[in-house]
Structure 1
Amino acid sequence: MAESWTIKSLSRGLQLLDLMAEQPTGVTIKWLSAVSKIPLSTCYHLMNTLVDSGYVQRDRTRQVYTLSYKISYLHNQVQMSHMVPDELRMVAQKVSQELRETSYVAKWESNEVIIQYIAEGDQAIKVRSLYVGYQEHAFVHALGKVILAHISPKDFHAYYIHHPPQRRTPYSRIQWDEIQRERLVTRERGYSLDEEEWEEGICCIGVPLFNYTSCVWGALAVSLPRHRYDRLNQSTISYLQQEAQMVSKKLGYQNIYRSINQQ
């Protein structure tokens, strides 16, 4: 962070926690230093502070560091304050069981696209870097695409200014004209597609969820590996839309969705 009012050491400590979250089996301080570009001696001081504060624990047998129960406590508190409606949680689980793939729920809240629930199927390939609370790179994943396609031009412009699109893979579409074209197509067909834009080898389909004000509440999405995505038929997308429509009705939405069969 470049702002003069930020505390550099705190920012670095949080960076280390983010990196550790992506390596659940544990990391060494040398690895953290190499990946974060933070000097080794500074990494040692930061990790000692995190261990002393209870946010990180050291496995002396394997000589690695992992996140502690205190991180889980914070995560649970966040989840409790942003509870997903029971109906939506049940639908996400149903979709995962039916399609045997990982499903995701995101909400448009405080002008952010925030992932709020993840349900894994029995043959699922989970996108490791997506987790509950994640709210970045919405231009290149299906949840973000479908939500951003349905917000107002004013809100979209503000979001674009505060979240400049960043390329995640060679397939990411991040140019202004590409994004605007994608928004239009997504609104017209009623769903979004992420074809390896977020992570190579992984594709995702997203459908919008609306509330009683007829505004977008959030999105439901499913991810799957490219080889299963290529064999996908339109009935799967229609199924996702039908499930999303049912949830939207429970959120008070009255309008009729466009289905695949009507296009």
Structure 2
Amino acid sequence: MTMSDSKNKTTINSVTKSLRVLDLLAKNPTGLQIKEISSDLKLNLSSTYHLLNTFLLAGYIQKTSNDKYTLGYKIPYLNHAYLQSGVSSYNLSSFLRELQVETQETCYLGIEQNQEIIIGEILESSQAIKISALYVGFKGYAHARATTKAIMAYWPEEKTRLYFRDNPMEMPDGSPAPSIDRLVKELQDIKGRGYSLDEDAFVSGISCVACPIFNAGKTVIASFSVSMPSDRYQSKRSELIRQVCETARRASKFLGYADGEETDDGGQCED
């Protein structure tokens, strides 16, 4: 089923409204009052009240002392179950931890699920600058981040073009985004060398190295990445590429990928 097909399926309007409430609260972690929610979602106050009360009783939202609504304790539970149902069950976390210990930088696990690439895990370094925009489950700006491009480089070109037809390319700082043709060419280059780089593209002053992880079927299912301030990155760029690629190789072998064999689309991490 394609992304377009999924959008043509019959939906239940009341459920859609409910999910929009959760999406809105996710974008406003400090909370919103009922009138703000009603206004933002263009719902009448009565409907908004009943939706909020339903979520409140079920634990999916909570109400603060200043009458604001925030996400509730059931959300982390769902997130944990979601991640456990995917790539994380393969114990890639142990490899990510090894990478973080070796590099002493912030490391990410990117995973592809349901035609999206999300951050599955983050291990932060005490010396790193925290990128507040990133969190477990984040999936935005796929064209600007090394973590996502390391996976997308192995997508068929048609899949890439379809994805960005439904997810317009925008840059976090409002600068002009690359054309789809330019991105396709960049992804071809990434596939050729086996790793991707983000040098001040997603966040100014922050750079990132990422490498894909293959399974036994020679399919890319995840990626490891390391990010750090660009001044520190420049001084150890080559070593970081080696470290990320080597860790991804070992993780791929753990998943059954024959180390050093050719995939249908090319090799892994050509140094």
If the length of structure 1 is used for normalisation, what is the TM-score?
Answer: 0.79
Look up the match of 1:54: 59
In structure 2, relative to structure 1, the CA distance for the partners of 1:141 and 1:233 (3 Å cut) is closer
Q: Measure the CA separation in 1 of the matches of 2:230 and 2:136.
A: 23
Q: Measure the CA separation in 1 of the matches of 2:176 and 2:259.
A: 32
SS in 1 for 2:95: helix
Cα pair 1:106 1:113 within 8 Å, conserved: yes
1:89 aligns with 2:99: no
Q: Measure the CA separation in 2 of the matches of 1:178 and 1:155.
A: 15
1:142 aligns with 2:142: no
Q: How far does residue 6 in structure 1 lie from its aligned partner after superposition?
A: 5.0
Q: How far does residue 112 in structure 1 lie from its aligned partner after superposition?
A: 2.9
Look up the match of 2:40: 37
Cα pair 2:110 2:118 within 8 Å, conserved: yes
Look up the match of 2:25: 20
Q: How far does residue 10 in structure 1 lie from its aligned partner after superposition?
A: 4.5
User: What code does the residue aligned with 1:151 have?
Assistant: W
Look up the match of 1:206: 210
1:108 aligns with 2:112: yes
Q: Unpaired segments of 5 or more residues in structure 1?
A: none
Look up the match of 2:243: 239
Look up the match of 2:197: 193
Cα pair 1:172 1:197 within 8 Å, conserved: no
Deviations 1:156-214 (A, max 9, x none): 34434443433333456431222022112212332112234334443322111112222
Look up the match of 2:77: 73
Cα pair 1:172 1:196 within 8 Å, conserved: no
Deviates more, 1:236-245 or 1:174-183: 174-183
User: What code does the residue aligned with 2:149 have?
Assistant: K
In structure 2, relative to structure 1, the CA distance for the partners of 1:138 and 1:19 (3 Å cut) is same
SS in 2 for 1:133: coil
SS in 2 for 1:222: strand
Q: Measure the CA separation in 1 of the matches of 2:72 and 2:185.
A: 44
SS in 1 for 2:108: strand
SS in 2 for 1:159: helix
In structure 2, relative to structure 1, the CA distance for the partners of 1:194 and 1:19 (3 Å cut) is farther
RMSD after superposition:
3.3
Cα pair 1:172 1:198 within 8 Å, conserved: no
Cα pair 2:210 2:225 within 8 Å, conserved: yes
Cα pair 2:86 2:113 within 8 Å, conserved: no
SS in 1 for 2:92: helix
1:177 aligns with 2:198: no
In structure 2, relative to structure 1, the CA distance for the partners of 1:122 and 1:22 (3 Å cut) is farther
Cα pair 1:82 1:116 within 8 Å, conserved: no
Q: How far does residue 250 in structure 1 lie from its aligned partner after superposition?
A: 1.4
Q: Measure the CA separation in 2 of the matches of 1:16 and 1:232.
A: 45
Equivalent residue pairs, number = 256
Q: Measure the CA separation in 2 of the matches of 1:216 and 1:157.
A: 18
If the length of structure 2 is used for normalisation, what is the TM-score?
Answer: 0.77
User: What code does the residue aligned with 2:61 have?
Assistant: V
Q: Measure the CA separation in 2 of the matches of 1:179 and 1:131.
A: 24
Q: Measure the CA separation in 1 of the matches of 2:95 and 2:36.
A: 39
SS in 2 for 1:37: helix
Cα pair 2:211 2:223 within 8 Å, conserved: yes
Look up the match of 1:163: 167
